[in-house]
Structure 1
Amino acid sequence: MWIEAIVMPREEQKPYRPLPQRDRRALYEAGRNESLQFRERVLNYLQSHRLMDAVKWVSEPGSLPMVTLRCHEQVLERLRQAPQFEAGQSLSLELQS
């Protein structure tokens, strides 16, 4: 059965320090680059652990370091065990009219 999983980087325990003010375009580009690099790390993990056969779809990079997967539950469990990722199953909203 296919599920939808959301993967994000595990937060480090560093104290918060606000970044200097930047223009929106630079901020967006920095977020986009971080998202692209994070997506590559997730894909590398999946490939190195031979989990790609259990993945149907992977989201494209956005402006946040987050990846959405359509995968089997075993993939989600392996991602949850990995120390570099926070992973969970997205909620299914079934709307009725």
Structure 2
Amino acid sequence: MWIEAIVMPREEDTPYRPLPQRDRRALHLAGCTESLQFHDAVLNYLQSQKLMNEVKWVSQPGSLPMVTLRCQERVLERLRQAPEFEAGRSLSMELPS
């Protein structure tokens, strides 16, 4: 059975401190760079764990460090065990037609 999973970086236990005002363009570019690096880290993890055969679809990098996968349940369980990721199922919304 295929499920949809969302993967994000695990947060550190450091308290939140707002950053000084930055140029929005620079902030967006930094977010896109972080997203691309995170996307690569997730794919590298899946490949190193030999899980790519259980992944049907992977979202493209955006401006936030988040990856959506269409995968088997076992992939989600392995991602949950990895210390660098937070992973969970996305909510399925089936509306009556």
Normalising by structure 1, we get a TM-score of 0.97
- Tell me which residue corresponds to 2:8: 8
1:67-78 to 2 correspondences below 5 Å? 67-78=67-78
State the one-letter code of the partner of 1:75: V
Q: Deviation above 2 Å: which 4+ runs of structure 1? A: none
Shift of 1:83: 0.7
Shift of the alpha carbon at 1:16? 1.4
> Any gaps of 5 or more consecutive residues in structure 1?
none
Residue 24 of structure 1, CA deviation: 1.1
- What residue is the counterpart of 1:96 in the other structure? 96
Which whole-Å CA distance do the structure 2 matches of 1:71 and 1:15 have between them? 34
1:9-43 per-position Cα deviation (integer Å, ceiling 9, x unaligned): 00001121211111111111110100000000000
Deviates more, 1:9-18 or 1:65-74: 9-18
Measure, in 2, the Cα distance between the counterparts of 1:94 and 1:16. 37
Provide the residue aligned with 1:54 in structure 2.
54
Residues 24-72 of structure 1: per-residue CA shift (max 9 Å, x gap) = 1111111010000000000000000000000010000111100000000
How does the TM-score come out when normalised to structure 2? Answer: 0.97
Give aligned pairs, total: 97
